[in-house]
Amino acid sequence: MTLIMPTEKQKHYSTCTLCEAMCGIEVTTQDRNILSIVGDKANPFSEGHVCPKAMALKDLYEDPERIRTPIEKTAEGGWQEVSWDYALDKVATNLFDIQQKHGVESVATYLGNPNAHNMGSILFGPYFYRSLKSHNRYSATSVDQLPHHIVSRQLFGHQSQIPIPDIDHTQHFMIIGGNPLASNGSIMTVPHIKRRLKAIQARGGKVVVIDPKKSETADMSSEHHFIKPGTDALLMLAMIHTLFDKQLIAADALLGFAADLLSVEKYVVDYPPKRVANLTGMSESQIIALVESFCAAGPAVCYGRMGASVQAFGTLTQYLIMLFNMLTGNLDRQGGMMFTQPAADLLPHSGRGSIANFFTRVRNLPAFAGEFPVSALAEEMLTDGEGQIKAIVIGAGNPILTTPNGQQLDKAFENLDFVVAVDFYITETSRHADIILPPVTALERDHYDIVFHNFAVRNSTKFSPAIFPPAETTKTDWQIYLGLAERLDKLNGLPTDKYQTLWQKEPKGVVDDLLKSGRYRHEGEVLSIDLLLKKPHGIDLGPLQPDLPEAIYHNDKKIDLSFDYFMADLTRLDKHFFASEFSISEASGLATDESLQLIGRRHLKTNNSWLHNSQRMVKGTNNGWSRCTAQIHPDDASKHNIQDQQLITVTSRVGKVTLPAEITEKIMPGVISIPHGWGHNKKGSQWHTAEQHAGVSVNDLTDEMVIDELSGNAVLNGVPVTIEAA
Ligand SMILES: Nc1nc2c(c(=O)[nH]1)N[C@H]1C(S)=C(S)[C@@H](COP(=O)(O)OP(=O)(O)OC[C@H]3O[C@@H](n4cnc5c(=O)[nH]c(N)nc54)[C@H](O)[C@@H]3O)O[C@H]1N2
Ligand SMILES: Nc1nc2c(c(=O)[nH]1)N[C@H]1C(S)=C(S)[C@@H](COP(=O)(O)OP(=O)(O)OC[C@H]3O[C@@H](n4cnc5c(=O)[nH]c(N)nc54)[C@H](O)[C@@H]3O)O[C@H]1N2
Ligand code: SF4
Ligand SMILES: [Mo]
């Protein structure tokens, strides 16, 4: 008998990749086991902060239901393990054959949120999509931040040049449709959000939250104002109107970059606060006071996120928020909205974002940056004809739970000839796959945050090498994508010489090049992966700095306010809000006096659809329903004769779901809130803990036919629904 002695415990310094906050973590391991994960106190950026989700990294790593080897569906519908070579060959050959038979457009891709946290997918995934040559590309962007990209593309010339709230220096932080206390911040990489918000208040500043729900963030804010879902564009128009009306414009410093800034006035004259008061649910005096206190604060920032983006006028709203910051002199000002100066800057090397240069086949929806709105995905699968989607590759996404009208999409998947999932779970979506290609989890791969360093509230840099050396039998996302790309190019008779270089370079080689050609030195040394390996806690590169005009990607180094593009949407807005009652209900589906407006919410222990197989993340929740409840106001409950915890049926144009009511004063009357990412009760998915806390999918209610027409972004907030006792 041989005794295998455990090796010494080891401490590793790494990064949590679950949300955008980039917290530094200290991971204690022994052999290939994780003993603990705690905050890395020596990390200069996150200073020891972690949230309860950090431990989910251990749960994911250990989860016996996580797939570790490629699997193929058998004729009987079961799964069998196959080798990587077999799986990659078969995927490439089938995709090639389908494209030969039905044309290049017949193969679609959908990329989910975790790709943004994965430098391998970001840097090497594109080789695969390009080798497919299909325009049928979709991602979670169009159920999320698409408006931000379009605004930045037009104004600053690059889709990813998005300014960030300078939270550590602001005196007034206005949050419209964000709940960073639950989400830990979005398009604002900010560990320790609570401490930072408290610091604003401690230095005499204010945190102001505008939200149809008195959220966790609203609970600790200086002021919270209810707003009716989907009316933020009206509020912003009235706020800008007030700036002109009360002569509060302070834009001198920006006129050199945007000479026509003051012409905004002519677009807002028709929207005095009085006119939007009823529609927004905010009084005239409330709106005027909001603006006056913002302008009196010194450095101030107005920040709009998810809640403000995934609504019928989300793009217009984000545009108006940017104009508001500019007109009050808060763009590129310390304590306002500022551009980060990342150490590894991908922007100069990546697409600036093409707008509406091609359109979907069925509904003629515009592409942005080479991607179609995901609201069009199901119809492109279901509608016969040339260009119909016959196969799809899903990379790190679960669109059946996360995109509008999930049930229709679920059915549409059954129509397909071939489905591939790059995922390590058998989810509601990947259960449709013919082959699943499972990458390793985050702690088993090298990590440099190539996206979120660009959205961080301080400039910083950190490289985290894989904690566990790769096993012979595992692959990371980039190895999967590169393997597929090389095979497809070979099948298409294209040269494949470049791949040899790429296999050797690896994504970290690309980051190394970016660091070396970047703007920073550390103690006189050029930044590089080698240098960062010696600094496992990361390096702080200081607070955000004014960066105009350098931050602008337009050739003339001027901000292009693109009035014609954005303000044209005011016609649709007027029709939607100010035309007769008839056209209001027509525009929003099924709105009647009886209907409630559906919105979403996040909880600290969720991550979209995929952390519910961790017992730690779902425990302590009610009656097997988990946290998936329908929050309604007591007035609406009594109107419909509904008791707390009673099961209710919620119905929209596209579907109905039944779940417990949670009666709370924290929600605005007339509004109902249901979180997304639940509904783990579909036959064939394999996460048994999640199944015990199944909940329902709110996206069985959201409507793929109602979109923000300017961007094609989904409308997940302000969906008209009716309720009744079940
Ligand atoms: N109603 C409503 N719907 C929403 C939202 C809302 O607020 N309300 N929010 C929207 C938003 S903001 C987003 S971003 C989307 C998210 O939507 P999606 O990206 O479609 O869904 P996720 O739940 O993030 O699914 C991620 C999948 O990737 C897998 N995965 C995790 N890590 C990795 C990895 O490293 N590699 C690979 N290959 N796979 C991995 C997981 O197992 C999981 O199956 O949901 C959107 N849907
Ligand atoms: N714990 C946890 N953290 C996460 C995620 C997660 O699933 N769980 N997901 C991550 C992802 S992918 C993203 S994109 C970010 C999103 O992060 P955030 O942008 O902070 O999004 P939410 O937490 O959903 O907060 C949105 C807020 O908007 C409000 N709202 C809804 N409709 C409207 C409206 O019409 N107008 C206004 N003004 N407000 C409205 C909601 O009530 C809610 O409080 O979070 C990330 N972090
Ligand atoms: S806040 Fe985000 S990055 Fe930090 S530990 Fe929690 S999930 Fe991870
Ligand atoms: Mo997101």
User: Can you list the alpha helix ranges (DSSP code H) found in 261-371?
Assistant: 264-268, 273-280, 284-295, 306-309, 314-327
Distance 608 CA to ligand 4 centre (A): 8
pLDDT band at 372, cuts 50/70/90?
Answer: very high
The pLDDT of residue 374 is above 70 = yes
Nearest CA to ligand 1 atom 28: 396
Whether 459 lines ligand 2, by a CB cut-off of 6 Å, is no
**Residue 151 predicted with pLDDT over 90:** yes
pLDDT more than 70, % of the chain: 97
User: Bridge-partner residues for 289, per DSSP?
Assistant: none
Average pLDDT for residues 121-150, to the nearest whole number? 98
Pocket lining: 479 vs ligand 1, CB cutoff 6 Å = no
pLDDT score of 588: 46
Beta bridge partners of 38: 26
Average pLDDT over residues 670-697: 96
Cβ of 477 closer than 6 Å to ligand 2, yes or no, is: no
For ligand 3, what atom is nearest to the CA of residue 52? Answer: 6
The pTM score is 0.97
CATH topology classification for 582-725: Barwin-like endoglucanases (2.40.40)
Residue range 256-304, pLDDT digits in tens: 999 999 999 999 999 999 999 999 999 999 999 999 999 999 999 999 9
CATH 2.20.25.90 residue ranges for the chain: 10-62
CATH 2.40.40.20-classified regions of the chain: 582-725
- CB 725 within 8 Å of CB 638: no
pLDDT of residue 580: 61
- Comparison of pLDDT for 582 and 110, the residue scoring more: 110
* pLDDT exceeds cutoff 60 at 595: yes
Give pLDDT tens digits for 573-584. Answer: 999 999 864 444
Q: What is the pLDDT of residue 689?
A: 94
Query: H or E segment at 300?
Result: strand 300-304
**CB of 113 sitting under 6 A from ligand 1:** yes
* Ligand 2 site-directed mutation target among 148, 211, 455, most atoms within 8 Å of CB: 211
d(CA 169, CA 106): 50
Give CATH 3.40.228.10 domain extents, the chain. 162-338
DSSP string for 571-614: HHHHHHHHS-HHHHHHHTSS--TT-EEEE----TT--TTSSTT-
| Domain covering 71-144+352-542, topology | Rossmann fold (3.40.50)
Look at ligand 2, atom 13, and give the residue with the nearest C-alpha: 186
Ligand 3: distance of its center to the CA of 49 in Å? Answer: 8
- pLDDT value of position 677: 98
Cα–ligand 3 centroid distance for 22 (angstroms): 6
Taking the CA atoms of 676, 678, 679 and 685 in sequence, report the sign of the dihedral they define: positive
Q: Is the pLDDT of residue 589 over 50?
A: no
Probe ligand 2: pick from 18, 213, 217, 306, max atoms within 8 Å of CB? 306
| Average pLDDT of the residues of the chain | 96
Q: What is the pLDDT of residues 411-449, one digit of tens each?
A: 999 999 999 999 999 999 999 999 999 999 999 999 999
Q: Which ligand has an atom closest to residue 143 CA?
A: 1
Q: Residue 330 Cα, ligand 3 centroid: separation in angstroms?
A: 29
pLDDT in tens, 198-245: 999 999 999 999 999 999 999 999 999 999 999 999 999 999 999 999
| Closest C-alpha to 110, from 378, 310, 492, 334 | 378
Instruction: Out of 13, 15, 16, 38, give the residue to mutate to test ligand 3, the one with the largest number of ligand atoms within 8 Å of its CB.
Output: 16
**What is the CATH number assigned to the segment(s) 162-338?**
3.40.228.10
58-93 confidence digits (pLDDT tens): 999 999 999 999 999 999 999 999 999 999 999 999
Q: What percent of the chain has pLDDT over 90?
A: 95
Residue 391 has pLDDT above 90, yes or no: yes
CA 453 / ligand 3 centre spacing (Å): 14
Q: Can you give the pLDDT at residue 592? A: 60
Beta bridge partners of 471: none
The answer to whether the CB of 597 falls within 8 A of the CB of 585 is no
pLDDT, residue 464, reads 98
Rounded to the nearest whole angstrom, what is the distance from the C-alpha of residue 140 to the centroid of ligand 4? 7
pLDDT of residue 582: 42
For the domain covering 10-62, report its CATH number: 2.20.25.90
CA–CA gap between residue 327 and residue 265 (Å, rounded) = 10
Cis bond upstream, residue 272 (ω within 30)? no
Q: How much is the pLDDT for 623? A: 58
- 598-631 pLDDT, tens digit per residue, is 999 999 999 999 999 999 999 876 556 679 999 9
Q: Look-up: residue for tokens 């209900």?
A: 585
For ligand 3, whether the C-beta of 18 sits within 6 Å is: yes
* Ligand 3 atom closest to Cα of residue 57: 8
Residue nearest to atom 7 of ligand 1 (CA): 600
